[in-house]
């Protein structure tokens, strides 16, 4: 049984200590002198199936920071796939470098060869700093790549599916809070109006919610406001909006010691990853404040469900139906959290871990 509480990785931890702390199965360091490739592939857990997760290219301040990121992200993928009922494990890869300056076709293809060497134990996909073209280059060297554009036989942009799941999770939270899942007339503040946020706003507009939106991209913001009638608020002002629901759809860790006392909402439900700065502190703190938190990795799983549909040769319709289940799972999590006297993020992690443990047992016999 894996200890559920995430153990903070300290600067002093040795590489092997870091790998063993959250029980990663395998970590592969990939280096190529010719292309300048420096990448780390993290395979956290493959009990349920191959480890699937995107590759992120980022200007990490240090190699230690890159290692921490890949370990944290790959672990997160394990729980996301497990709670979504997918037969996938958790993995992730990071490439150290500036995606605008350092990336070349050769580097991407060399990385594809490293992925291929794992023989399907890790399947990669697109993440920050990577483009469709990069995935196409990787795909020239390995078949273990998913999330390709529809024109290349892939499942295409996952954002509409992610938005649908987030919407389902938000409605489940509304049902929990108000006994009715209608969002009509509810004041909802949306932080980030990008791919997922944009599609989510479409669903909310259809339900006649009253929207407050913010984004660093002012042109984007003005366009969405003009089309939907949403009220534009400042980047920091979003935390002070007198909203019923706060929906973080940009960056992580926006629920922290600074913002907690400012949030007036009854529900938090958004698509951003790792919304709680420290889940062991801010998860219980939200319960104390009477705020219902829809677990991020549960309600933003539409994207991985969509990628899974590609891996298993299923279609978008299947992905949307599977994503709709997020509504029921979210309600179950709220009930479980209450019964177990814990917070929803922890209840969701426990449920995901239970599925992994159960499946590990059935695999013990042939």
Contact 117, 95 (CB under 8 A): no
Please report the sign of the dihedral spanned by the C-alpha atoms of residue 40, residue 155, residue 120, residue 2. positive
Q: Is 69 in the site for ligand NAD (CB under 6 A)?
A: no
Residue 126: φ, ψ to 5°: -85, 145
- Count of C-beta atoms within a 10 Å radius of residue 240: 14
Q: Is 9 annotated as a binding residue?
A: no
- Secondary structure class of 215 (helix, strand, coil): coil
User: Angle CA(314)–CA(315)–CA(318) in degrees, nearest 5?
Assistant: 85
CB of 194 to ligand NAD, least distance (A): 2
List all residues 6 or more positions away from 259 whose beta carbon is below 8 Å from its beta carbon.
239
The stretch near ligand NAD (CB under 6 A) out of 118-126, 246-254, 286-294, 344-352 is: 246-254
Which residue among 271, 305, 348, 351 contacts ligand NAD (CB under 6 A)? Answer: 271
Q: In sequence order, which ranges of the chain are alpha helices (DSSP H)?
A: 15-21, 63-83, 105-117, 132-141, 159-178, 195-206, 218-228, 257-260, 279-288, 296-299, 302-311, 316-324, 326-340, 344-362
Query: Which neighbouring-strand residues pair with 42?
Result: 27, 92
The stretch near ligand NAD (CB under 6 A) out of 97-105, 210-218, 226-234, 345-353 is: 210-218
String marking each residue 273-312 x if it binds ligand NAD according to CB under 6 A: x--------------------------x--x---------
CA 235 – CA 223 distance, rounded (Å): 17
CB of 249 to ligand NAD, least distance (A): 5
Which residue among 91, 97, 158, 295 contacts ligand NAD (CB under 6 A)? Answer: 158
* Cα radius of gyration rounded to whole Å, the chain: 20
CB of 275 to ligand NAD, least distance (A): 9
Q: Is 214 in the site for ligand NAD (CB under 6 A)?
A: yes
Q: Is 241 annotated as a binding residue?
A: no
Which residue among 251, 261, 281, 340 contacts ligand NAD (CB under 6 A)? Answer: 251
CB of 13 to ligand NAD, least distance (A): 26
The stretch near ligand NAD (CB under 6 A) out of 64-72, 168-176, 247-255, 276-284 is: 247-255
- Count of C-beta atoms within a 10 Å radius of residue 38: 19
* Range 216-235, binding ligand NAD (CB under 6 A): 216-217, 220, 235
String marking each residue 159-188 x if it binds ligand NAD according to CB under 6 A: x--x--------------------------
Q: Is 147 in the site for ligand NAD (CB under 6 A)?
A: no
The stretch near ligand NAD (CB under 6 A) out of 64-72, 116-124, 178-186, 248-256 is: 248-256
- Secondary structure class of 366 (helix, strand, coil): coil
Per the listing, tokens 């291929």 go with 116
- Which is it for strands 122-126 and 187-191: parallel, antiparallel or unpaired? unpaired
Residue 313 catalytic?
Answer: no
Known binding-site positions for NAD(+): 192-197
Tell me the catalytic residues: 92
Binding residues for ligand NAD (CB under 6 A): 158-159, 162, 191-197, 214-217, 220, 235, 249-251, 271-273, 300, 303
């Amino acid at each position: 049984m894996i200890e559920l509480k995430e153990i903070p990785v300290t600067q002093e931890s040795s590489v092997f200590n870091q790998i063993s702390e959250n029980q990663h199965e395998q970590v592969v360091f990939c280096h190529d002198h010719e292309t300048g490739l420096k990448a780390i592939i993290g395979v956290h857990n493959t009990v349920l199936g191959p480890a699937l997760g995107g590759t992120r290219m980022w200007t990490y301040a240090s190699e230690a920071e890159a290692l921490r990121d890949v370990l944290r992200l790959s672990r997160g993928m394990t729980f996301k796939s497990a709670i979504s009922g997918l037969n996938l494990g958790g993995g992730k890869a990071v490439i150290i470098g500036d995606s605008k300056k350092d990336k070349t076709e050769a580097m991407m293809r060399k990385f594809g060869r490293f992925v291929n060497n794992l023989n399907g134990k890790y399947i990669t996909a697109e993440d920050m700093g990577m483009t469709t073209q990069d995935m196409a280059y990787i795909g020239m060297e390995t078949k273990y790549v998913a999330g390709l554009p529809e024109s290349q036989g892939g499942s295409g942009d996952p954002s509409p599916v992610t938005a649908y799941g987030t919407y389902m999770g938000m409605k489940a939270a509304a049902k929990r809070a108000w006994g009715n899942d209608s969002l009509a007339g509810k004041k909802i503040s949306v932080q980030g109006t990008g791919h997922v946020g944009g599609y989510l706003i479409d669903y909310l507009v259809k339900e006649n919610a009253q929207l407050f939106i913010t984004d660093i991209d002012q042109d984007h913001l003005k366009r969405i406001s003009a089309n939907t009638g949403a009220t534009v608020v400042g980047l920091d002002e979003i935390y002070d909006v007198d909203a019923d629901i706060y929906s973080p759809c940009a960056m992580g860790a926006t629920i922290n010691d600074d913002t907690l006392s400012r949030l007036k909402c009854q529900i938090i439900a958004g698509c951003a990853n790792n919304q709680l700065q420290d889940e062991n502190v801010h998860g219980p703190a939200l319960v104390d404040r009477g705020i219902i938190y829809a677990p991020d990795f549960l309600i933003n799983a539409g994207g991985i469900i969509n990628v899974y549909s590609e891996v298993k040769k299923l279609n978008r319709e299947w992905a949307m139906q599977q994503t709709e289940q997020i509504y029921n799972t979210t309600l179950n999590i709220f009930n479980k959290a209450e019964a177990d006297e814990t917070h929803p993020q922890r209840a969701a992690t426990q449920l995901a871990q239970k599925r992994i443990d159960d499946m590990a047992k059935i695999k013990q016999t042939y």
